[in-house]
Every structure is written in structure tokens, then in C-alpha cells.
Amino acid sequence: MEQELGPDEQLLWAGRPSRGVRFSLADAYLIAFGLVWGVFAVIWEAMLLLFHGPFWFHFVGIPCGIFAVHLLVGRFVVDVLRRARTLYALTDRRAIVIEGGAGGRVVSVALGERLPMELREGFFGWGTIRFGVGPGALQGLSWPGLQGLEPPSFVGIRNVRAVFDLAAEVRRKQLAAPRAPRAPRYAPNNTRRLARQSCVP
């Protein structure tokens, strides 16, 4: 974690997501959807074997079956493995998410930006903090490539309320800190006019 910190950046909190299988409200819909796809795939393949259907019809039933297995089992396995190699950190400047250990995917959010922070507090002090807004319906699907659509989040952390209050305090200080004025992109009209006159012989 230290190698991801910038110069004079102070680490305020570090943690990991909860271990084991996690269920959310969206899982009820995804499991039901997976059962529908699974039943369709089984019936489709059974009819092909019973009536000796064309071989290329299997290219319809097999992908449906694979998709159903992922919705019912595979996505939970992917989520458990991904969270086992995930680290979270909160500094005096930003929130950092490291996935995959050393050399893995690193995402950070500057807390000085005016991005919304969402707190989802569960039982016994566990919960999730989301930095920004994203398509929450995709959360928990664990399909390759979909993680990039979700905003950076601290998922399933202990003492989530205290971490959220700490992040809110850091953001308040960052927004209250004076910022250096930006240099003008173009020179004023009178300056450019004088520059042109000085070039005339």
C-alpha cells in the first residue's frame, strides 16, 4: 500500500472487504433469472437429444447453460476470489482501491472533487461506501469487464460509519482548502497588441 502513496500523502485508514459469500437484494432477481435460463438450456438440450436435432443447435443451448451457471454459482466464486485480493485505503487526499495485489488494478478517487459519497450500512457495523454514481443494477454480477462500470467502492468493510465520517471530514477539508488560481490560457488583448507592435521595425 505504501508504494501507491504520493509525496507527503498520509495514510489514515486501510482495510479489506469481508470474506466469504455475500448476498444482496439484487441476487434474488439474478438467481431467479439464472434459473429461467438454466431450465431453458436443459429443456433445449433434452429436446435436441430426444429428437436428434441439428448439431449446430447446441450452440444455442450450451451458451445459455454457461450463462445460467455463472448467474447461479460462478459469479459468487469470482466475487469471493476478487475480494480476497482487494485492499482499501483512505488518505488525506483520496480513496484508493487495489484489486489483484501487487501489479493489479488500482483505482483512486480524489476526495477534493465534488463527487457524491453513498453509505450503505448493514448489520453489526458492516457496510459499503460508494464514491460517485454508477449503474448499481450491475453490482454483484461479477462478469468480466463490468467492474469498470461501477464507481470505486469500499465493499463490505467493518466500522463503515466511522470510515464514512472520516472520508467526509477529509473531503470537507479538501474543499475548504484554498486553491491556487489558474494561469490564463491566452494573453490579454492589450498584451498581444503590444507584442505585435514591438515586432514591427
The reported pLDDT for the residue numbered 42 is 92
What is the residue extent of each domain of the chain?
2-176
The reported pLDDT for the residue numbered 141 is 47
pTM for this one? 0.67
Long-range contacts for 166-172 (Cβ within 8 Å, ≥24 apart)?
A: 166/12, 166/13, 166/90, 167/90, 167/95, 167/111, 167/117, 167/129, 167/131, 168/117, 170/12, 170/90, 170/91, 170/92, 170/93, 170/111, 171/111, 171/112, 171/117
Residues of the chain predicted below pLDDT 70:
1, 101-103, 133-149, 179-201
**Interatomic CA distance for residues 87 and 114, integer angstroms:** 24
CA distances (Å), origin 32, targets 43, 62, 70, 77, 111: 17, 19, 13, 18, 38
The reported pLDDT for the residue numbered 102 is 60
The identity of residue 55, as a single letter, is F
**Interatomic CA distance for residues 149 and 133, integer angstroms:** 10
Residue with cell 469470482: 78
The reported pLDDT for the residue numbered 195 is 42
The reported pLDDT for the residue numbered 181 is 57
